[in-house]
A and B are shown apart, each in its own frame.
Chain A
Amino acid sequence: MKRIVTLCVLVVLGFCWLAFANRPVAAPYAWNLPPGFPEPTVPANNPMSAVKVQLGRHLFFDPRLSLTRMISCADCHQQKFAFSDPRILSVGATGQFTRRNSMTLTNTAYNASYDWANPNVTTLEHQMLTPLFGEDPIEMGLSGRREIVMAELAADPLYQRLFPAAFRRDDDPINWVNSMRAIASFSRTIISGDAPYDKYVRGDAEAMTESAIRGFELFLSEKLECFHCHGGFNFTDASTHERDREPPSVFHNTGLYNIDGLGAYPPGNEGLFSLSGKPGDMGRFKAPTLRNIALTAPYMHDGSIATLDGVIDHYQRGGRLVENGDLAGDGMLNPVKSEFVNGFELSAEERADLLAFLNALTDEDLANNPDLSNPRPELSGKEEIHDPR
């Protein structure tokens, strides 16, 4: 009997050895998250690793990923503007304008969906198809050039080293899907949680001014209703994370337009309606994070409000009045408008307090973090390179 038990134990141990001995036990990725931040959701087929993040960082800043080899992801997602674009609309490789303002990549790992209003796109890996390959408008302009670009990257000694290190199990790791996975992994490290507001809530009473603290209270008040759409650790109701059981799918019409009196938004910028075709989805866009909001002007999906002061004007009125031109109409009367955009009274002092609070969401570390900066600025010299086509 004793011998049988021993045999059983040996057999079990043997199986365990077989199961684990030859597998490198991947150390969990060290996120280095701000205190209290949950782990972001990561697609099972693209686990995080430090070397993949490094590879993605190089690709993110590499202008060879555009038709003209003149622009990289970083042109429309500039670090000093919290990875957003100070231009109202961004300009693609061929000079075409985007339809909407480039979103900040602040805490993009936590987005429940990507783009301004596309609930179908739930991963960064998929979102990237649009800027890389989209043609209407052309952004990076890689449609039809996938092989040319990959051949060029494959000839770069740095990538010959980084791709195999990041994708060890792949026989042929230098490919466009892995490129997108690496860029997604890098983008997930653009995490911001060290603003004066964060220091304040962690116990540093001096981190926010009295004015900003009053502004925080206003922000949380039922009078202003800001927090309904801009709530949670990431100041948006469109965030999710690893422990979230049901990622949100929420989009709001804030009464920016009302062209026909029935709620219409400008053609081509109709929010969720463009995808779903449902009248009730007209003008419904995602609430972006308010983290680093002072760095990400201009505002709204179309960059149509230049300053935070202007944004407060819009919400204070309960919708924007466009008096003249093709887009004329009173957004306040938009029938699809969110129930939380009803306007409010705001004194000059309260306005200053609210602005002080919004400014206290700026994380200077993000805008200056060397780990998120261009690792090869020499590639962005903007010199005209021979086009092999």
Chain B
Amino acid sequence: MIRTTSNRVLPEAAARSALACIAASLLACAPGGGHSIGLEFAAKYQGHTPTCTSPMADDLEMTDLRFFVSDVEVGNGSNWSAASGQRVHLLDFENGEGSCTNGTPAMHSEIALNLPKADVSALRFTLGVPFDLNHGDPLLAEPPLDEPAMFWHWRSGHKFLRVGVKNRGTRWHAHLGSVGCLGPIAAIESCERPNRRTITLTGFTPGDTIVINLDVLLADINTRDDASAHCLSEADNPACKQLGRNLGIDFSTGTSAGETSVFSLAPN
């Protein structure tokens, strides 16, 4: 967002340049006089980029991969500044083709990142939708929160992450999101277990790609023999327990627990 710092009436030239700045900000103008770049996300599995039409491995296909990222900040590890004009972003790696049923044609792997003038060496974001945006009226939701596949109707919020695979024909999926949310829709009072995870990536150089490592995300989850054990963010579900260890979330408390390498940086 552009801020004019004074209440005084601006001279015409200054006003004109402010207008120019506002116009330019659509492309590049950022707070603190920095600039805007694209922040690319990529999905990887064993070094390859899985898609709906190219298998992850023999007999292992991706059926879905969508997640919300919010409150993106950049800094040097101790000082942080907001790095996105938009609070929530939907990252979407499926296009509804091939093994991805129930998908949508649109994909989305890049978000606009505002860089301050100060040195940036770290980036952090929340995997999930902030509480105050997570429980609005789904009928009145604005993009990117209006995608029905990311609604979590019965839990009165949004899925933060949905990932699915087909392992030798057997489908398995996981939905991450806040649970135990009580109150009328659009007026949810609280959630028992928020299940959000802050991801901090140090050693970030603008231009780096954020990789979601499906090897790590799905590590040690039996997606083939026990397909009935889909994980819907339950505390006592074995698949969730392992997914929680992989993501650094304790599903029994809904809070962060330990480190996670699900997200990492890849140099340009």
Contact = CB atoms under 8 A, between A and B. Distances in A.
A133 B150 CA distance: 10
Interface string A162-191: 000000000000000100110000000000
B153 A276 contact: no
7 contacts: A119-B182, A121-B153, A138-B102, A144-B96, A144-B101, A144-B102, A389-B96
B148 A146 contact: yes
A120 interface: yes
B240 to A, nearest CB: 13
A275 interface: yes
B149 A135 contact: yes
Contact of B185 (A126, A134, A146, A277): A126
Contacts of A146: 148
Contact of A136 (B103, B156, B181, B230): B230
A199 to B, nearest CB: 37
B235 A277 contact: yes
Contacts of A133: 148-149, 151, 153
Interface in A98-128: 115, 118-123, 125-126
Interface in B138-187: 138-140, 148-149, 151, 153-156, 173, 179-185
Nearest to B193: A277
Q: Which of A136, A146, A277 has the most CB of B within 10 A?
A: A277
Given A143-B149, A275-B154, A275-B155, A129 B138 contact: yes
Shortest 3 CB-CB contacts between residues of A and residues of B = A133-B148, A129-B153, A120-B156
B221 interface: no
Contact of A123 (B180, B185, B230, B232): B185
Interface of B: 96, 101-104, 137-140, 148-149, 151, 153-156, 173, 179-185, 188, 192-193, 230, 232, 235
Nearest to B237: A267
Given A141-B102, A275-B182, 15 more contacts: A121-B185, A122-B185, A123-B185, A130-B153, A133-B149, A134-B153, A134-B154, A143-B102, A143-B149, A144-B101, A146-B148, A275-B181, A276-B182, A277-B179, A277-B193
B53 to A, nearest CB: 14
B148 A118 contact: no
A132 B184 CA distance: 20
A144 B149 contact: yes
Contacts of B230: 136
A120 B104 contact: no
A275 B180 contact: yes
B194 to A, nearest CB: 13
Contact of A120 (B102, B181, B192): B181
A141 B101 CA distance: 10
Nearest to A120: B156
A65 interface: no
Contacts of A181: 139
A142 interface: yes
A135 B183 CA distance: 23
B154 A118 contact: yes
B188 A120 contact: yes
A125 B153 CA distance: 12
A144 B185 contact: no
A121 B151 CA distance: 14
Contacts of B192: 276-277
Given A129-B153, A144-B103, A276-B192, A122 B180 contact: no
B185 A120 contact: yes
Interface string A82-104: 00000000000000000000000
Nearest to A389: B96
A126 B137 CA distance: 8
A122 B188 CA distance: 12
Interface string A302-329: 0000000000000000000000000000
Given A144-B102, A275-B154, A277-B179, A120 B184 contact: yes
Contacts of A126: 137-139, 153, 185
B154 A115 contact: yes
A146 B156 CA distance: 20
A180 B148 CA distance: 13
A135 B102 contact: yes
Contact of B104 (A141, A144, A274): A144
Contacts of A143: 102, 148-149
Nearest to B97: A389
B96 to A, nearest CB: 6
B97 to A, nearest CB: 9
Nearest to A126: B185
A129 B148 contact: yes
Nearest to B104: A144
A167 to B, nearest CB: 13
A249 B148 CA distance: 27
A180 B138 CA distance: 12
A119 B187 CA distance: 12
A115 B182 CA distance: 15
Contacts of A141: 102
B183 A120 contact: yes
Interface string A244-288: 000000000000000000000000000000111100000000000
A79 B148 CA distance: 29
A136 B173 CA distance: 10
Contact of B180 (A115, A119, A142, A277): A277
A59 to B, nearest CB: 15
A75 B32 CA distance: 59
B187 to A, nearest CB: 9
